[in-house]
């Protein structure tokens, strides 16, 4: 069954703690993305990766880190430097090549601060 | 840089009535345009997209959108809505050859029985 999986569905973070959100895909897409969603603000890009072992900062990268060691996986770490981490986090992948330029989204992880 | 404006943050509509959700974009170059739908606590699902060709694009669930280059708009329409259409709708734009999407702030569609 092809698709994008994100885990966990809900995640709780204590102050000063780093937490890692998982994103896995079996669509064989090269590009992967992380977005943050807050009420009334739409989606904002955190990081993206177009190829294994390479990634770029998005618009709100401060307080976050990523890695891309495998094509299938793009984990996001929310570090203690991110002072307002409570949000809904969405992972996406992108087809590429002319008329196929489209992003597809996972089910999301909701991060809450204790 | 491109930007997207969704003019209405909330749209209430009676069941079986028509609806139009408005989207305007700003870009100095040619663009791709997308509409996504998000049900509560879920990810985004692609409704339809305009990449090239016919300016009238048909999507899933009976939705359609029309690309208007002169007015830089990409409004979403449905002739008769159903309770199950209650969701948040996002318009998004990307430039040709650009790997990044820019999203609007969303329109919450509420269907009144």
How are beta strands A54-57 and A109-113 bridged, if at all?
Answer: unpaired
Query: For tokens 């990044």, what's the residue?
Result: B100
Q: Poorest-confidence range of A39-43, A99-103, B32-36? A: A99-103
Cβ-defined contact of B100 to A50 (cutoff 8 Å): no
Kindly tell me if the per-residue pLDDT of A81 is higher than 80: yes
Nearest to B44 among A40, A90, A110 (CB): A90
- pLDDT grade for A41, boundaries at 50, 70 and 90: confident
Kindly tell me if the per-residue pLDDT of A1 is higher than 60: no
Touching A: B residues 94-113, CB under 8 Å: 94, 99-101, 103-106
Touching B: A residues 4-63, CB under 8 Å: 4, 6, 31, 40-45, 48, 50, 58
Kindly tell me if the per-residue pLDDT of B3 is higher than 60: yes
Q: Please, what's the b/e burial string for A14-41 (b: 16 or more CB within 10 A of its CB; e: otherwise)?
A: eeeeebebbbbbeeebbbbbbbbbeeee
DSSP string, B48-66: EEE-SS-SEEE-GGG-EEE
In this prediction, residue A98 carries a pLDDT of: 59
């Amino acid at each position: 069954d092809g698709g994008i999986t994100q885990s966990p569905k809900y995640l709780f973070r204590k102050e000063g703690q780093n937490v890692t959100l998982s994103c896995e895909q079996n669509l064989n897409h090269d590009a992967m993305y992380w977005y943050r969603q807050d009420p009334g603000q739409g989606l904002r890009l955190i990081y993206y990766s177009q190829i294994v072992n390479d990634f770029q900062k998005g618009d709100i990268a401060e307080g976050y880190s990523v890695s891309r060691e495998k094509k299938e996986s793009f984990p996001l770490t929310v570090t203690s430097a991110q002072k307002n981490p409570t949000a809904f986090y969405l992972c996406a992948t992108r087809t590429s090549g002319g008329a196929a330029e489209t992003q597809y989204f996972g089910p999301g992880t909701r991060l809450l601060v204790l | 840089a491109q930007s997207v404006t969704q003019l209405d943050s909330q749209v209430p509509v009676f069941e079986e009535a028509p609806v139009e959700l408005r989207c305007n974009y700003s870009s100095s170059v040619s663009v791709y345009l997308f509409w996504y739908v998000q049900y509560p606590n879920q990810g985004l699902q692609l409704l339809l997209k305009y990449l090239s060709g016919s300016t009238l694009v048909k999507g899933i669930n009976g939705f359609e959108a029309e690309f208007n280059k002169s007015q830089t708009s990409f409004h979403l329409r449905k002739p008769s809505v159903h309770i199950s259409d209650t969701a948040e709708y996002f318009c998004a734009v990307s430039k040709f050859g650009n790997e990044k999407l820019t999203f609007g702030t969303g329109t919450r569609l509420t269907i009144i029985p």
